[in-house]
Structure 1
Amino acid sequence: MIKVLKEITFRMVAGANIATIIVMVLVGFSDRLNPVDHPALASAGLVFPVLLVINLVFTFFWVVFRLRGVLIPLIGFLLCYVPIRTYCPFNVRETAPEDAIKVLSYNVWLFAGWDTQPGEVNPILKYIAKQDADIVCLQEAMPNGISQQRVDEMLNPLYQYCDTAVKGRGGDCIALYSKYPIISRQRIHYASHGNLTMAYELKIKDDTVIVINNHLETTGLSLEDKSNFKQMVKGDVEAREAKKESKRLIDKLGEAARKRGPQAEAVARFISEHKGRSMIVCGDFNDNPISYTRRTIACNLTDCYVESGLGPGISYHHSGFFVRIDNIMCSDDWTPYNCRVDNSIKSSDHYPIYCWLRKK
């Protein structure tokens, strides 16, 4: 009788494991779904790491209780190799060659000026200066709380060339700081009330390189929404209320993704129109690694973090949302080295991401 019960238990666990794998595969490849047509599923990639952990728990179960059963979760991991590598790549660290250039992308959150006392050096500006990157792409670069003069005093001595672009009145400001001459600038047009993308041509040695700085549509979540989400993660919300709040958050995230889809397509269209040109694409995509947004823009590019990063690389770390939404990508004439998300500075709600690129 006990033997029969054990066999039934193993079959039930195997069934649950297979069901988990099916969902994991569907979620892992959900970045193929256009959010305009499927807004409710647009943020499915956010639950992918949860499914990975569940499959890992199944792996431990089979190792302990029935070793041959471990084939089930292993097959699941193999089927999801591509999304696993996209979400959490594991690469061997390599020393960047001396002739590589350093690229930094950072959503500076208005330089978090409210935390800087008069007379103090702004920590975000201090960090950017210390990194001494060759190209710096900033998002949310309005100097609220600190003056533009303080920004210029810190960065202008390091960067001879700079440009800022603002999306209308009250919209976002993105900035480019470069050690290389800026030859041209143009906006990549798409529908948005407050977000924007700029494309620049830089003269880097004997080559002209297109640098695209993105800040795509924000999630649309208020501080209250994020606070409620954080409480749900902690388990401080009743089941009925949590279900209601979850549906509301999914609707909001879906609506933002629906707006972001055409924006990503506009950027990808620009990249395709300039195929064959040397290109670096940076910025805050406001979407997770397994998303239509990231996949669409990365289609004809190398994702520097996937190719040379290590671990999940969480770049947004505020209010219970922990996910990589900041990116650096490049055309195939560059080799990326040691792309990192730097969690040593917590002044902004984003961590900076940087990478070294060497011409092939």
Structure 2
Amino acid sequence: MRERSSMRIIGKLLRLILLILNILICCGLIISGYSSRINPSLHSVWSISHLFFPFLLLGTVAFLVFWLFVIRKFFIISLLAIVLCANPIYTYIPFHLSNPKAPVGSIKFLTFNTEGFNNYQYKKNGDPNEVLVYLQESDADIICLQECIFQGKLTKDVVEKAMKKYKYRAYYDFGAHNGLGIFSRFKILSIEPVHYKSANNCSIAYTLDIKGDTILLINNHFESNKLSSKDKQVYKDMVLNPKSKTVESGAKLLINKLAKASALRALQADSVAKFITESKIKNKIVCGDFNDSPLSYVHRRIVGKGLIDAFVNSGNGIGVSYNKSGMYVRIDHILVSKGFKTYQCTVDRSAKCSDHYPVWCYIKKKNASD
């Protein structure tokens, strides 16, 4: 009898511990899902909680299934958290049953962090650069590049010769290891930097004449997380071996670095948002390497200026665009004014020539009937 009584007590205690853990995970999911409303300049550590969103979502779903088979009434806790986070979940993992083809008159738009054109390397002497080959074969009408750097064998003349079908192009160097570039079939009317403090990052605003309409296009490379190869290995070890003794120290190191970078990006996003607000041009496209997820303050701050996320609007899945060191997140974005419709937004995983995948979509101006 005593053994049975002890087992019942242990069982109740275990269920209580699991219930508390479930509640904590659900609370974490809600906080991370709406962390974009936390200004990193004021609360930098809390603002990066969105990075834990996929793990918290998996934990919430796991508990939902667990309680359905153990104590059914408790599954409502996870279900309620999922319902409350329906919008963040859809933003993070959009899903569209139908994905119509782009209509006639659409333009193909592509953004790509080239990792310095694959670190300026050729596989063999004389071989074509893989990034250039991809850009040539993409047949995009407008291409925005980040980490567009001419160095070594990959000179400006080599790039321009390869991209000769694009009549309009512009480059902007900032720092030894970064630069922005644009190749366009449409006339570039003006070029203007968006001013903010940064040693190696920048945003450039172009005005383009696209089929008679003046469009504001802003190409961005926001502050990176400044994680060294060693830091990325620490993260990978934490994911692969969460029981390691180094998890606590590694987590503190990474959170501190991520929080500082997040605060810097917030100020940069504020500057871009202000530039968008002050522009008299109605139709806008904002793209580039945000170094932040779709649930971040940076993303919300810019989308909040009357824009829509092309991938959320016409893509499917998580859409991982950064692909190295086990840090698989969507940090490259295309945002457009509500006067545009987007089609078939794709993170092109076939291009393995950079630490980022290119992101492209078709864009068409809405008709009066849309």
Mark the CA change 1:68 to 1:238 in structure 2 (over 3 Å): closer, same or farther.
closer
Query: After the TM superposition, which residues 26-175 of structure 1 pair with which residues of structure 2 at under 5 Å, given as runs?
Result: 26-92=31-97, 93-112=99-118, 113-145=120-152, 146-156=154-164, 158-167=165-174, 169-175=175-181
**Which runs of no fewer than 5 residues in structure 1 stay unpaired?**
none
- Does residue 24 (structure 1) correspond to residue 32 (structure 2)? The answer is no
2:223 and 2:265 in contact (8 A); partners too? yes
Range 194-203 or range 91-100, more displaced: 91-100
Q: Aligned letter for 2:157?
A: Q
1:33 and 1:42 in contact (8 A); partners too? yes
| TM-score normalised over the length of structure 1 | 0.94
SS in 1 for 2:249: helix
Deviations 1:265-289 (A, max 9, x none): 0001111112661111110001122
SS in 1 for 2:140: coil
Q: Aligned letter for 1:80?
A: C
| Aligned-partner Cα distance in 2 for 1:233–1:313 | 20
Deviations 1:199-227 (A, max 9, x none): 00100112101111000111111122112
Tell me which of 269, 275, 279 is aligned to 1:270.
Answer: 275
Q: Aligned letter for 2:121?
A: W
Tell me which of 284, 301, 324 is aligned to 2:289.
Answer: 284
Match of 1:217 in 2: 223
SS in 2 for 1:42: helix
CA drift at 1:244: 1.2
| Aligned-partner Cα distance in 1 for 2:243–2:325 | 15
Q: Aligned letter for 2:147?
A: E
| TM-score normalised over the length of structure 2 | 0.91
1:14 and 1:72 in contact (8 A); partners too? no
Deviations 1:21-52 (A, max 9, x none): 11110111111111111122232111000000
1:171 and 1:193 in contact (8 A); partners too? no
**Which runs of no fewer than 5 residues in structure 2 stay unpaired?**
none
1:137 and 1:176 in contact (8 A); partners too? yes
Root-mean-square deviation (CA), in Å? 1.9
Q: Aligned letter for 1:303?
A: D
| Aligned-partner Cα distance in 2 for 1:8–1:236 | 25
SS in 2 for 1:277: coil
Mark the CA change 1:35 to 1:152 in structure 2 (over 3 Å): closer, same or farther.
same
SS in 2 for 1:114: coil
| Aligned-partner Cα distance in 1 for 2:168–2:38 | 40
Identity %: 38
